[in-house]
Amino acid sequence: MSAKILKATPSSVFLPEQGELRRLPRAPKRHRPQKFWDGFEDRALVYDVFWHLDNKQVLLVCPPPLNLEEYWLQASFKAMPSGQVLQPQIHNIRSSMTIALQDVDATQTHIEITFAGQKFVAEIMPNLADDFDGCSVMFTMSQNNPLSWIAEWARYHQTMHEVDAIIFFDNGSNVYTPEDIEKTLAEVPGVKKVLVMSVPYRYGPHDPGVIFHRFWANFLQVSTFSMVQRRFAGKAFGLLNVDIDELAAPIPGSDVFEMAHESIDGLYRMRGNWVESVVEPGVTDPMPNHLAFRTVRKDFRHKLNAKNGHLTPAGNGWLILMCIPVCTE
């Protein structure tokens, strides 16, 4: 039986292309290559607007304000169509910002934002936490990764960790459609619910102009974490985030979700082994799946950062956190 396919779209707000107002990076006068500027998100104000799990608040998930902070502090918000003036609570971190609008009447459909003298109207999207109630949810973001890899990635984690729901952010793929991803994931045995959301926005560049936290400008990825936790998975059993080229290693007699539930703080940390992009001898498939890559570095300097946990075929080893969702403002 195929999985149930759920639908969701983001409610986004961008500064107009013809305007001069733009987001600037940290230390904007530092030299950076053109590639950085081409990938830097300078126009997005809001990635998504949706009801909180409590149906009393509306949440806006945004990139960090940076030089636009003074405009956000002076911004005004109204619920529409009533025109109710709303008071914002702004929660700002390095790569993302969440704005909570309090005591919004449940009959309202849109939020009007007055920002730097300009008015924007965004639809309030539904909260889908009930659809993922009790699910073991895996989520990721991807662009143009082969469908065969996506299928193997899902099949592996369903088998090894009993993933039964997948939230997939498609970052503007142009070799297939979101419907193709839906079909691929829905056919994986054991997966019961699939949601593919198209987010064709700038992912964000690495920043050579910043010594520490050079991935700070990956606004979209960090913001989708907040969207998953607050719009989709507020009632989920647990969350697992892994890229398409990453596999969470098996845990004898358990899985990552159970391990997180058994931990004191609801988190289970996995340190990665970097698997090289060297195909095993005898593999002739031009697009082999993850298990064709088994070569791991033995250099001791690599081992300083590589612990048993998750396997990363042909890619970079990231620290992956699995958390139990906590509904916050």
pLDDT tens column, 277-323: 777 777 777 777 777 777 776 665 555 444 434 443 333 333 333 33
* Residue entry with tokens 């990231």: 318
Mean pLDDT of 61-77: 97
- Tokens in use for 266? 């609801």
Longest dimension (CA), the chain: 67
- Per-residue confidence (pLDDT) for residue 13, from 0 to 100: 98
| Model pLDDT for residues 135-182, shown as the tens digit of each residue | 999 999 999 999 999 999 999 999 999 999 999 999 999 999 999 999
Top-confidence residue, 302 or 122 = 122
For residues 239 and 260, give the distance between their C-alpha atoms in angstroms, rounded to a whole number.
9
- Per-residue confidence (pLDDT) for residue 37, from 0 to 100: 96
- Per-residue confidence (pLDDT) for residue 320, from 0 to 100: 35
Q: What is the CATH number of domain 129-323?
A: 3.90.550
* Residue entry with tokens 């502090």: 73
How far does CA 315 lie from the centroid of its chain?
A: 18
Which residue ranges make up each domain of the chain? Answer: 8-15+31-123, 129-323
CA angle, 75 then 77 then 80, to 5°: 155
Mean pLDDT of 69-97: 96
How far CA 201 is from CA of 139, 159, 181, 207, in Å, comes to 18, 32, 18, 18
pLDDT above 70 covers a percentage of the chain that reads 89
- Per-residue confidence (pLDDT) for residue 323, from 0 to 100: 34
pLDDT band at 83 (very low <50, low <70, confident <90, very high): very high
Q: Does 8-15+31-123 carry CATH code 2.60.40?
A: yes
Top-confidence residue, 318 or 24 = 24
| Model pLDDT for residues 218-261, shown as the tens digit of each residue | 999 999 999 999 999 999 999 999 999 888 888 889 999 998 88
Number of residues that this document lists for the chain: 329
How far CA 161 is from CA of 36, 69, 166, 282, in Å, comes to 37, 42, 13, 29
Question: Side-chain half-sphere of 89: how many Cα atoms within 13 Å?
Answer: 9
